[in-house]
């Protein structure tokens, strides 16, 4: 049981969306000593929208109230009190708020380890490492072509495959840098390995975070707090078990031309992670240097106006997408 905040040693699980982060969190949550939160989006949306750079240190109650009102925290059933966040012996700020949130979540469930799973928190891993000096980090990676094939099936998702491919490549480059910075506290697993050899992979994760493997972890269960009811329509398949058909499904869901184009864009990170980065042939339509440059801006430029302008320029040049899926 987490009895004191200083004893909190959370595990942050992340990866590119649709890479198996939900499966990873569900496997960990089934362990009797572990609980897992729903996605908090704390550093990607909660703080970003309200206060990371505007915390009111003179009137911290104002900032605390803003955080408590964020809709992204509604999925977390908490007994956390406003008063506990305003203790005189602990100056409230985003870091102590998040620590209190995770500590309370673990205490309410009598768990020794709290797993927080927000896929995009990889982009803020160094901040989390600073906030939680004893934290461990587990990242799951998946073949980028399967990721893109899955992302475009999400409700309301863009069908611009090349954009998703470039986003995955950028994410992969960031992940590789983070791994070097957090050596000793960071574990990367492959989704395909987890599916094909769950006992070995889960046992390795458990050893890394400091618990013994438990058979419940590989036993499917729908009673999971890490997956809110409203997310079930697109996450139900993920938590039902280890389905080998979900590995390399892009080979049947995408046309060969689309597969070749995605491989062309994502080749370097695919090879780095041990995936096949060879195309059957060079795509009939490849990105020029200008298009690649604009695609990079459209994905990663910090200014929203610049990203929008880059997308418009790509449209004018012919962005090559969306490419029809295999029928």
* pLDDT at position 3: 45
* pLDDT at position 87: 60
Distance, CA of 10 to CA of 304 (rounded, Å): 33
CB 155 within 8 A of CB 27: no
Would you say residue 322 lies in a domain? Answer: no
Q: Give the domain CATH number at 175.
A: 3.40.50.300
Rg (CA), the chain: 21
Angle CA 59–60–65, to nearest 5? 110
CB 31 within 8 A of CB 207: no
Cα dihedral 136, 205, 211, 104 sign: positive
Distance, CA of 202 to CA of 194 (rounded, Å): 7
* pLDDT at position 264: 86
Would you say residue 156 lies in a domain? Answer: yes
Distance, CA of 305 to CA of 244 (rounded, Å): 42
* pLDDT at position 44: 87
Would you say residue 273 lies in a domain? Answer: yes
Would you say residue 323 lies in a domain? Answer: no
* pLDDT at position 81: 62
pLDDT along the chain (327 residues), means of 10: 58 94 92 92 76 59 72 66 60 78 86 94 95 96 95 80 87 95 96 96 97 92 69 65 89 90 90 88 57 68 72 61 41
Distance, CA of 31 to CA of 70 (rounded, Å): 29
Would you say residue 326 lies in a domain? Answer: no
Distance, CA of 132 to CA of 270 (rounded, Å): 31
Residue closest to 44 by CA, chosen among 105, 106, 94, 79: 94
Distance, CA of 116 to CA of 180 (rounded, Å): 21
* pLDDT at position 179: 96
Q: Which helix (H) or strand (E) holds 114?
A: strand 113-117
Domain count, the chain: 1
* pLDDT at position 154: 80
* pLDDT at position 101: 84
CB 104 within 8 A of CB 24: no
Question: What is the domain extent for residue 115?
Answer: 5-317
Would you say residue 185 lies in a domain? Answer: yes
Distance, CA of 105 to CA of 100 (rounded, Å): 8
DSSP strand pairing (34-36 vs 186-190): unpaired
Residue closest to 261 by CA, chosen among 160, 193, 178, 132: 160
Would you say residue 324 lies in a domain? Answer: no
Q: What are phi and psi of 36, to 5 degrees?
A: -130, 135
CB 84 within 8 A of CB 4: no
Distance, CA of 103 to CA of 210 (rounded, Å): 18
pTM (2 decimals)?
0.82
Distance, CA of 304 to CA of 265 (rounded, Å): 23
* pLDDT at position 34: 95
Would you say residue 10 lies in a domain? Answer: yes
Alpha-carbon distances of 279 from 20, 144, 258, rounded to whole Å: 25, 14, 10
- Give the three-state DSSP class for 139: strand
pLDDT 10s digits, 1-38: 444 444 668 999 999 999 999 999 999 999 999 999 98
Query: Residues near 15 by Cβ (< 8 Å), separated by ≥ 6?
Result: 21, 24, 119, 122, 139, 140, 141, 142, 175
């Amino acid at each position: 049981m987490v009895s004191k905040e200083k004893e909190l040693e959370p595990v942050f699980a992340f990866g590119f969306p649709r890479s198996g982060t939900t499966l990873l969190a569900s496997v960990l949550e089934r362990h009797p000593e572990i609980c897992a939160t729903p996605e908090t989006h704390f550093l990607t949306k909660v703080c970003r929208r309200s206060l990371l750079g505007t915390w009111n240190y003179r009137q911290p109650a104002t900032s605390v109230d803003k955080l408590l009102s964020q809709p992204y925290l509604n999925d977390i059933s908490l007994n956390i009190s406003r008063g506990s966040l305003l203790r005189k012996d602990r100056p409230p700020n985003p870091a102590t708020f998040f620590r209190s949130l995770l500590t309370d979540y673990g205490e309410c469930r009598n768990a020794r380890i709290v797993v927080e799973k927000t896929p995009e928190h990889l982009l803020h891993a160094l901040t989390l490492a600073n906030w939680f000096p004893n934290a461990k980090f587990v990242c799951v990676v998946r073949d980028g072509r399967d990721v893109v094939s899955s992302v475009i099936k999400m409700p309301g998702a863009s069908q611009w495959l090349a954009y998703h491919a470039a986003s995955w490549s950028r994410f992969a480059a960031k992940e590789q840098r983070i791994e070097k910075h957090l050596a000793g506290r960071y574990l990367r697993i492959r989704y395909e390995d987890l599916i094909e050899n769950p006992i070995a992979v889960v046992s390795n994760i458990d050893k890394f975070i400091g618990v013994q493997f438990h058979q419940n972890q590989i036993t499917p269960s729908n009673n999971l707090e890490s997956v809110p009811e409203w997310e079930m329509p697109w996450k139900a398949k993920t938590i039902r078990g280890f389905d080998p058909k979900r590995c390399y499904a892009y080979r049947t869901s995408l046309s060969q031309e689309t597969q070749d184009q995605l491989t062309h864009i994502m080749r370097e990170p695919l090879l780095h992670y041990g995936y096949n980065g060879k195309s059957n042939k060079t795509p009939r339509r490849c990105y020029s240097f200008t298009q690649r440059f604009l695609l990079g801006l459209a994905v990663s430029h910090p200014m929203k106006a610049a990203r929008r302008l880059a997308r418009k320029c790509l449209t004018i040049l012919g962005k090559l997408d969306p490419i029809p899926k295999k029928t």
